[in-house]
Chain A
């Protein structure tokens, strides 16, 4: 497993996730979020979207997974935050590009850009922090 000295400011990491037609339903089953806006295309259209939209927390989970993979262990993840700026819809391909911004003591901080296949940001201000144990 990665050690504290293996983290360097400027490190980069990438995670790509595709929103297949069933993903909002699978996420609903796993998370318990059955808001019809994520299940029923008619409800999604009534709310002004092209169809169903993905749960924001699924996008957030991908963000946390991307950061956790870089940090090397899910137990190291201390904080993750993000603003949801654009709906994620079926057919979208979301690319998370992270960069290490600080290594201070045992804390490692990153910022992440999350964009869809048109290059539009779906998250803003996405950051995460890990606490790396002493070895």
Chain B
């Protein structure tokens, strides 16, 4: 059943996330072929030094560790995740797949940053037996700077 277009503009959040050093390192390890955590942990195979090696990061133009861009997936996903399971929308999550993703980064994320993400349904469409739900997210840091925008598209197979 097509998603009711009355939900266009429906908003989610704000969701607050603190980008702790260990969270960033766990993300770099997990994505880089290593093992996150404190037990049986293993380093990533070829991380960018600015995201992993504190001494190299201090010596870099960033002056300290920064999160890899894709770390945005760890926090900016929240409005999208909540929308996909929003009872008002009534989507069948077993028929839902993440169809498309876009990020735009406007600032760096560093350990200790406090990130607040809001989201809004920006597109509802259907084509053949597919329904499309697009959520656009905006994340601001503790200085109220927009650091990342995301466009998240779910596809529901009917």
Contact = CB atoms under 8 A, between A and B. Distances in A.
Interface string A84-98: 100100000000000
A60 B66 contact: no
B98 A74 contact: no
B73 A61 contact: yes
B69 A80 contact: yes
Contacts, number: 111
Given A31-B27, A64-B68, A84-B99, A78 B105 contact: yes
B101 A82 contact: yes
A30 B70 contact: no
Given A30-B36, A74-B50, A60 B70 contact: yes
Interface in B18-40: 23, 26-27, 29-33, 35-37
B101 A31 contact: no
Given A26-B35, A73-B48, A74-B50, A80 B103 contact: yes
A65 B68 contact: yes
Contact of A77 (B99, B100, B105): B105
Interface of B, helix, strand, loop or mixed by DSSP: mixed
Interface in B50-104: 50-51, 60-62, 66-70, 73-74, 77, 81, 94, 97-104
Contacts of A69: 46, 48
Given A47-B94, A64-B68, A68-B69, A32 B104 contact: no
Interface of A: 1, 17-18, 22-23, 26-27, 29-33, 46-47, 56-58, 60-62, 64-65, 68-69, 73-75, 77-84, 87, 133
25 contacts: A26-B35, A29-B37, A30-B74, A31-B74, A31-B77, A33-B81, A56-B98, A57-B101, A61-B73, A64-B68, A64-B69, A65-B68, A74-B50, A74-B69, A75-B50, A77-B69, A77-B105, A78-B104, A78-B105, A79-B102, A79-B105, A80-B69, A81-B151, A84-B99, A133-B61
